[in-house]
Amino acid sequence: MQERVVPIIKIYDCLVVPIQIELDDTTVEKIQKQILSEIENNDVKGVIIDVSMVDIIDSYISYTLSETATMARMMGCYTVLCGIQPQVALTLAQMGVNIKGIYYAMNLENALEILAGIEE
Amino acid sequence: MSMLISIKPEEYDFFVRINEEKDIVIARQMVKDIAKKLGFSLADITKISTVVSELARNIYRYVGEGFIYIRERKEGKDVYIELVAYDRGPGIEDIDLAITGGFTTTKGSLGLGLSGVRRLMDEFSIKSEVGKGTLVIVAKRRRSF
């Protein structure tokens, strides 16, 4: 049984992953594993990662999120990152971090609309 | 004993010993509180905490043990937060390469660590000697709005 560190909510053909815990390196790796195993177990086309409660996203966390999106894409899923705080966006942009292979949304509603708009 | 790579711990207000992964989170939470106390803006608090996260991770990943020192520094009317990452590890052979974005010696990072740190702070200096250790000193000035 996969260790669960965050709640993952299935809604229609999407998985919603709200991250409301402090992200250390081990936790972010566990979240990645948990997302991949939930994709395997559910028939979904999208994953929405809500980071509106995350105060700090550093280079390792952003790398792992980007890697997760690539892995999810290989399994047939699109990933949307939603709710990045303005000061986190500022920090990431100034550092030169570019999270690849991922869609961005202002909020959950927006993220669901983006996924609904993607034609397979 | 290299005089080049050493600091005077008693001149600093706070320090955190980094020797396990959880210490990275402890260091960044602590710096966040200190920057808040010193009156930095939320954007700068986020930048400073992210910088500590990168520096502490470098210590943990590449060396295993080291320290983060923190102090408030006043220069005339200006207030700075100064952060030091210090370790007695293997040192960095090619510093120019290490602070270039995209360089990394471990899998699982963007290699943006040091170059990102430099971009987020107002002052950045690094001293390293192979076999002796590494000292990174960064500072950010408090902006008034």
**CATH number of the domain that A86 lies in?**
3.30.750.24
Measured between CA atoms, the residue of chain A closest to residue B113 is: A59
Task: Note whether residue B1 is domain-resident.
Answer: no
Task: Note whether residue A57 is domain-resident.
Answer: yes
**B50, B52, B55: best mutation site toward chain A, by most A Cβ within 10 Å?**
B50
DSSP of chain A: -PPP-S--EEETTEEEEE--S---HHHHHHHHHHHHHHHHHS--SEEEEE-TT-----HHHHHHHHHHHHHHHHTT-EEEEE---HHHHHHHHHHT----S-EEESSHHHHHHHHHH---
Task: Note whether residue B6 is domain-resident.
Answer: no
Backbone angles phi, psi at B3, to 5 degrees: -75, -20
Residue B132 DSSP class:
T
Q: Quick check: A119 pLDDT over 90?
A: no
Map tokens 């699982």 to a residue: B108
Task: Note whether residue B2 is domain-resident.
Answer: no
Report the CATH number that the domain containing residue B64 is assigned in CATH: 3.30.565.10
Query: Are B54 and A64 an interchain contact pair (Cβ–Cβ within 8 Å)?
Result: no
Helix (H) or strand (E) holding B119: helix B113-120
Distance from CA of A49 to the nearest CA of B (A): 20
Task: Note whether residue B77 is domain-resident.
Answer: yes
Task: Note whether residue A3 is domain-resident.
Answer: no
Task: Note whether residue A61 is domain-resident.
Answer: yes
Task: Note whether residue B31 is domain-resident.
Answer: yes
Residue B47 DSSP class:
H
- Please count the structural domains in chain B: 1
| HSE toward the beta carbon, residue A38, CA cutoff 13 A | 26
Task: Note whether residue B8 is domain-resident.
Answer: no
Q: B17 CB contacts (<8 Å, ≥6 apart)?
A: B23, B65, B66, B67
**A34-89 residue pLDDT tens:** 999 999 999 899 999 999 999 999 989 999 999 999 999 999 999 999 999 999 99
Q: With contacts defined as CB-CB under 8 Å, which chain B residues touch A95?
A: 50, 112, 115-116, 119-120
**B87-130 residue pLDDT tens:** 998 888 878 877 776 555 555 555 567 888 999 999 999 998 88
Task: Note whether residue B5 is domain-resident.
Answer: no
Distance from CA of B51 to the nearest CA of A (A): 8
B133 with B89: CB under 8 angstroms? yes
Domain that holds residue A37: 9-117
The partner residue sitting opposite B54, judged by closest CB among A26, A58, A96, is A58
Q: With contacts defined as CB-CB under 8 Å, which chain B residues touch A51?
A: none
**Cross-sheet strand order for the sheet of B133-141:** B14-18, B66-75, B78-87, B133-141, B123-129
Task: Note whether residue A2 is domain-resident.
Answer: no
- Please count the structural domains in chain A: 1
Mean pLDDT score of chain B: 89
The partner residue sitting opposite B115, judged by closest CB among A62, A63, A96, is A96
User: Which pLDDT score is estimated for B43?
Assistant: 97
Query: Are A56 and B53 an interchain contact pair (Cβ–Cβ within 8 Å)?
Result: yes
Distance from CA of B1 to the nearest CA of A (A): 34
Query: Are B43 and A95 an interchain contact pair (Cβ–Cβ within 8 Å)?
Result: no
**B16-63 residue pLDDT tens:** 999 999 999 999 999 999 999 999 999 999 999 999 999 999 999 889
Q: Which residue numbers of A have CB closer than 8 Å to B's CBs?
A: 22, 24-26, 55-60, 62-64, 85-88, 90-91, 94-97
**pTM for the full predicted model:** 0.91
Domain that holds residue B96: 13-141
Task: Note whether residue A4 is domain-resident.
Answer: no
